[in-house]
Every structure is written in structure tokens, then in C-alpha cells.
């Protein structure tokens, strides 16, 4: 099995994440043109409930599997890795089937009485079979991440995205003649087809890894657990004993993490319901409210999350790396990895936030052929830096056995967000912008609380100087981009003018980052493709 360093693993996931984000924008751009903003709204209204169900089953399982397998591999006990994988698969698959059946039978009641638009029923049915598929895939991703082999996760996610693009557009187009609700359901069926492909790819990687390891002698789970001083489930070595013991270890880590993610998923679900109800109180009809929410969650938020390809990659790679360093008591490596992650998240997210602020209208016109939603993007863009820094901080808390703190911070942010949505979005003068203000407040509050928790737990100093440098570089880049786009006549075509302003101001940002020491040449030297250029 190929184990990568922290930087290599992060870059593998980063490349896959960037490819996925770019490819993922194809349906984001084309789907609204097929089923409209109202259809996207129906798709988005159903998705939060699916996330809640999946989070209950697998919210913390992949992270627990990654952490425990990283510890087992670092102590030279591969037999424990197999036992952990087997236990987690049995648990998540069983729970997945139970929730799938429950969601199928409960779909009529949920779509009528819980969700704000009863037309979500068909989308809800289409998404139910994904629960088991996502449960199985997430366990195997945690397994490979624990072994610090990010290639299976990266390749499966890319192929899953390719399949999802084709199926989402094709199925929604085929089913649209039956109505916009069926068009949204077709898009969700396309997502399910992509998940099937992703699961098949990661299972293939596991099958290949087992063939490669077949000749390596290793203790099985029965004898292994009994011999390990910290892994004695009790007297005897029956299958029930080791299963119960491993499940207890997994759940001890997974439950607090699941709680934190469940708060986020429930917050997302309550956000969709509360936003629709608040807009109704403000006098906005259901169809318009659904379209506005679809524009926010289906168009604006994905643009803000584009740099999340890096932050999510950093978070995934950070967990096993910090867990391994913590097992050695290596505080210096923990501080180094966390500092690298935060710096990279801010430096790469900064230019996106700057461009989305100053060029919001031409971006929305070019990507979605809809300049009316640019105001949403312009308001949210400057605060996206909080979102980019949030993932590494939360991953650090979870990897260092502080998931309860992350849960409390997320819960506080969620309560404030839902309260603000109900108070602000019901105001006719604010409408959907009231929900946007509430979401921005959530970004800032949760990130600041995570930062405080990390600095207190690790005696870690937040890199305020680096943050100030990034903001200065962003301001200069934003001014250059606005000047080039509005004042210089590079091309008669708006699209080319936009791309030129982004490219030129982007080069300026890179130069400024190098001058201010935000780009670490030592890290660049460790990347195989760039090593020869930075000797």
C-alpha cells in the first residue's frame, strides 16, 4: 500500500478536489438552464434531509476509522486495521438499510408535513437508496485515509463526479416533460448513479490492495486483539467479543464527531425550512421562495465553496497526520501541520474571495446567465475567509480528541443562525438577504470559536500576521481586477475581459504572496512535479 507524506497526501486530494470542483460546476451551470431555479430549489430542499440521515449513520465513522487505523499502522499491527474495517462495515451497512427503508416508507409524511414544499416527494424517493451506498463508501475512504493512501479516495471521487455529471443532466432532461418536480427527482437519481460508480471504484482499490498484501503474514483480528494490551475486550476471543470491543472504540470517537456534524446537518435542514417559512411570513409566495433558496444554495454557495477543494483536502490529510504526531507526543509537528494548513487555506481562498466581491455581476452572468443573484455573492464573498479557515481548525479539534468542543462551537453557531434567519428573513425589507446575513454570522462565529478552542488546547498562536498579509494582498488584487475589467479595453467580449482581469490580478497576487512570505518554497520543493523548479 502506498503511504504518502502529509504534503503529498494533501496535494493528491487537492488535485482531485480541484478537478471535482471544476467538473462539478458543469451541472451547476447547466442544471438551472434545464429545470430552472425553481427545480434547483426543489432539489436543494430535499438534499438537507438526506444529509441528516447520512450523518446519523456515518458522520464520525470515517474519521474514527482513519484515526484508529493510523494508530494501528504506526504501531505495526495491521491485523487491528482489518478488524476495525470489518466492524465499521457491519455497523454502517446495517444502519444504512434500516434508514433507507424508514425513509422510503416515511417519504409521503415527511414531504407533506416536514419539508416546506410537498413537491419534494419525488426527489426524496430518488435519494433514499443512496444512504447505504454512501455509508459503505465512507468507511472505505476512512480506511485508506488512515493508511495515509489518498489515491483511492481521489480516484473514486473523480470518477463519481464524471458519472454524476452525465447522469444528473441526462436524467433531469428525460424526466422534465413530466413536470419540474420530476426534473428535480431526475437530477437526484443522477447523483445516486454517481455514488454507485464511486463505491465500485473504491471497492476495486480495496480488492487490489488485499491481493498485494496477500503474501504478507499478519495476525487476524481474534488473536490480535487479545494480544494487544490496550485491546482486550474481555475474557475469550469470540467474534462477538472483538466486534463489541472494536465498535465501542469506534463509537467513542465517532459519537462526538457525529454530534458535531449532525448539528451542522440539522442546521442545514432547519435553515431550508425556516428560510421558506420566514419568506412566507414576509409575503413571498412558495414558488418564489423556493427559487430564491435554490439560487442561494444551488448557485451562490457552490461558488463560495470552490476553494473548499483545498480546505477539505487539508482537513482529511490533517486527521491521520495529527493523530500520528499526538501518539508520539510530537507537539512541534502538530503546530507545524496546523500552521501549514491554515496558511494554505487562507492564501488559496483569498484570491477567490477578492474576485467574487469585485466581479460578482460578470461572474454570475457568465456562469449562470443570471446577473440578478450577484448581490448575494457580493455580500458573502468577503466573509468566505472564515469558511476556508474553519475546516483545518475543526479537523484539528477532532484529531486531537476534542470533538466535544467542536460540537459545542457548531451548536452555538447553528442556534444563532436559525434564530437570525427567522428574525431577519421574515422582514419584508430584507427577505432572502436576511438569511444571507444569518449564514455569514454563522461562518464567523463558528470559526472564531474553533480558533479560540485550538489555541487554548494546544497553546497555539493563531498566525494573525499571515492573516493580515493575506487581506492586504486581497485588497491590492481586488483593486487591480476591478481596474482591468472596468477601465482597460482588452477585449470586446465580456467573457475574455473577465478572464484577462482574473488572470492578470491572479499573477499579481501570487507575486505579492511570494514577496510577503505567504508561499513556502520549502513545501514546494517537496512536491514531485515542482521539485526541479525550486531547488
Look up residue 502 and give its three cell numbers.
482574473
227 vs 153, residue with greater confidence: 153
Contact indicator for 118, 45 with CB cutoff of 8 Å: no
Q: What band does 80 get if pLDDT is binned at 50, 70 and 90?
A: confident
Number of other CB atoms surrounding residue 470 within 10 Å: 28
Runs of H (alpha helix) within 301-371: 301-304, 308-328, 331-358, 360-368
Angle subtended at Cα 454 by Cα 451 and Cα 456, rounded to the nearest 5 degrees: 105
Is pLDDT of 436 > 90? Answer: yes
What is the average per-residue pLDDT within 17-37? 75
Q: What band does 282 get if pLDDT is binned at 50, 70 and 90?
A: confident
Give burial (CB, 10 Å; 0-12/13-18/19+) of 487. Answer: exposed
Look up residue 454 and give its three cell numbers.
485550538
31: helix, strand or coil = helix
pTM: 0.68
What is the average per-residue pLDDT within 426-448? 91
Read off the pLDDT of residues 460-491 as tens digits, 9 standing for 90 and up: 787 788 889 999 999 999 999 999 888 876 66
The whole-number pLDDT of residue 357 equals 94
Percentage of residues of the chain with pLDDT beyond 90 = 17
Q: What's the Cα-to-Cα distance from 333 to each of 10, 136, 313, rounded to whole Å? A: 16, 32, 18
Q: What's the Cα-to-Cα distance from 150 to each of 3, 8, 137, 169, 284, rounded to whole Å? A: 8, 9, 14, 29, 46
| Angstrom distance (rounded) from CA 2 to CA 155 | 14
236 — phi, psi (to 5°)?
85, 165
Q: What band does 321 get if pLDDT is binned at 50, 70 and 90?
A: low
Read off the pLDDT of residues 344-366 as tens digits, 9 standing for 90 and up: 788 888 999 999 999 999 998 88
| Angstrom distance (rounded) from CA 382 to CA 42 | 28
Read off the pLDDT of residues 445-458 as tens digits, 9 standing for 90 and up: 999 999 888 888 77
The whole-number pLDDT of residue 378 equals 92
SS3 content of the chain, % helix, strand, coil (to 5): 85, 0, 15
The whole-number pLDDT of residue 233 equals 42
Of 10-19, 229-238, 315-324, which gets the smallest average pLDDT?
229-238
Look up residue 245 and give its three cell numbers.
470491543
Percentage of residues of the chain with pLDDT beyond 70 = 81
Contact indicator for 306, 384 with CB cutoff of 8 Å: no
Nearest CA-CA partner of 135 in 95, 84, 82, 85: 95
291 vs 139, residue with greater confidence: 139
Look up residue 127 and give its three cell numbers.
435519494
DSSP string, 228-276: STT---SSS--HHHHHHHHHHHHHHHHHHHHHHHHHHHHHHHHHHHHHH
Tell me the pLDDT of the chain averaged across its residues: 79
Q: What band does 11 get if pLDDT is binned at 50, 70 and 90?
A: low
The whole-number pLDDT of residue 533 equals 44
Length of the chain: 535
The whole-number pLDDT of residue 471 equals 92
14 vs 176, residue with greater confidence: 176
| Angstrom distance (rounded) from CA 500 to CA 374 | 20
The whole-number pLDDT of residue 473 equals 93
Of 274-278, 376-380, 477-481, which gets the smallest average pLDDT?
274-278
Amino acid at each position: 500500500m502506498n503511504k504518502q507524506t502529509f504534503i503529498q497526501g494533501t496535494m493528491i486530494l487537492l488535485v482531485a478536489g480541484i478537478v471535482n470542483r471544476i467538473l462539478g460546476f458543469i451541472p451547476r451551470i447547466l442544471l438551472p438552464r434545464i429545470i430552472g431555479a425553481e427545480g434547483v430549489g426543489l432539489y436543494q430542499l430535499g438534499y438537507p434531509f438526506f444529509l441528516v440521515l447520512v450523518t446519523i449513520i456515518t458522520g464520525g465513522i470515517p474519521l474514527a476509522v482513519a484515526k484508529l487505523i493510523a494508530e494501528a499502522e504506526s504501531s505495526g499491527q495491521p491485523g487491528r486495521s482489518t478488524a476495525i474495517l470489518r466492524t465499521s462495515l457491519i455497523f454502517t451497512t446495517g444502519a444504512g438499510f434500516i434508514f433507507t427503508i424508514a425513509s422510503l416508507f416515511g417519504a409521503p409524511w415527511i414531504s407533506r408535513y416536514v419539508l416546506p414544499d410537498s413537491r419534494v416527494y419525488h426527489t426524496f424517493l430518488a435519494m433514499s437508496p443512496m444512504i447505504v451506498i454512501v455509508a459503505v463508501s465512507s468507511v472505505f475512504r476512512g480506511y485508506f485515509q488512515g493508511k495515509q493512501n489518498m489515491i483511492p479516495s481521489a480516484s473514486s471521487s473523480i470518477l463519481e463526479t464524471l458519472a454524476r455529471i452525465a447522469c444528473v443532466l441526462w436524467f433531469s432532461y428525460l424526466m422534465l416533460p413530466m413536470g419540474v418536480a420530476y426534473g428535480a427527482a431526475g437530477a437526484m437519481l443522477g447523483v445516486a448513479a454517481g455514488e454507485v460508480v464511486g463505491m465500485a471504484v473504491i471497492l476495486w482499490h480495496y480488492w487490489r490492495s488485499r491481493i498485494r498484501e496477500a503474501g504478507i503474514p499478519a495476525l487476524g483480528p481474534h488473536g490480535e486483539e487479545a494480544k494487544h494490551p490496550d485491546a482486550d475486550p474481555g475474557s475469550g476471543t469470540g467474534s462477538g467479543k472483538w466486534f463489541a470491543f472494536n465498535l465501542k472504540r469506534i463509537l467513542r470517537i465517532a459519537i462526538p464527531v457525529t454530534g458535531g456534524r449532525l448539528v451542522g446537518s440539522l442546521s442545514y435542514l432547519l435553515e431550508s425550512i425556516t428560510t421558506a417559512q420566514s419568506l412566507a411570513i414576509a409575503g413571498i409566495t412558495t414558488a418564489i421562495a423556493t427559487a430564491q433558496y435554490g439560487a442561494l444554495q444551488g448557485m451562490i454557495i457552490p461558488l463560495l465553496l470552490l476553494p473548499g477543494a483545498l480546505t477539505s483536502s487539508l482537513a482529511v490529510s490533517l486527521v491521520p497526520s495529527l493523530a500520528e504526531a499526538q501518539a508520539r507526543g510530537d507537539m512541534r509537528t502538530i503546530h507545524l501541520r496546523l500552521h501549514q494548513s491554515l496558511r494554505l487555506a487562507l492564501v488559496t481562498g483569498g484570491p477567490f474571495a477578492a474576485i467574487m466581491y469585485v466581479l460578482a455581476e460578470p461572474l454570475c452572468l457568465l456562469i449562470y446567465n443570471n446577473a440578478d443573484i450577484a448581490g448575494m455573492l457580493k455580500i458573502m464573498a468577503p466573509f468566505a475567509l472564515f469558511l476556508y479557515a474553519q475546516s483545518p481548525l475543526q479537523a484539528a479539534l477532532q484529531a486531537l480528541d476534542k470533538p466535544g468542543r467542536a460540537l459545542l462551537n457548531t451548536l452555538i453557531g447553528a442556534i444563532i443562525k436559525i434564530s437570525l434567519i427567522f428574525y431577519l428573513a421574515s422582514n419584508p425589507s430584507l427577505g432572502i438577504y436576511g438569511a444571507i446575513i444569518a449564514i455569514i454570522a454563522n461562518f464567523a462565529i463558528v470559526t472564531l470559536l474553533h480558533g479560540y478552542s485550538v489555541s487554548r488546547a494546544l497553546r497555539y498562536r493563531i498566525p494573525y500576521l499571515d492573516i493580515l498579509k493575506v487581506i492586504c494582498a486581497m485588497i491590492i488584487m481586488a483593486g487591480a481586477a476591478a481596474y482591468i475589467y472596468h477601465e482597460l479595453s482588452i477585449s470586446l467580449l465580456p467573457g475574455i475581459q473577465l478572464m484577462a482581469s482574473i488572470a492578470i490580478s491572479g499573477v499579481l497576487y501570487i507575486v505579492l504572496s511570494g514577496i510577503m512570505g505567504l508561499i513556502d518554497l520549502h513545501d514546494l520543493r517537496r512536491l514531485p512535479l515542482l521539485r526541479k523548479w525550486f531547488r
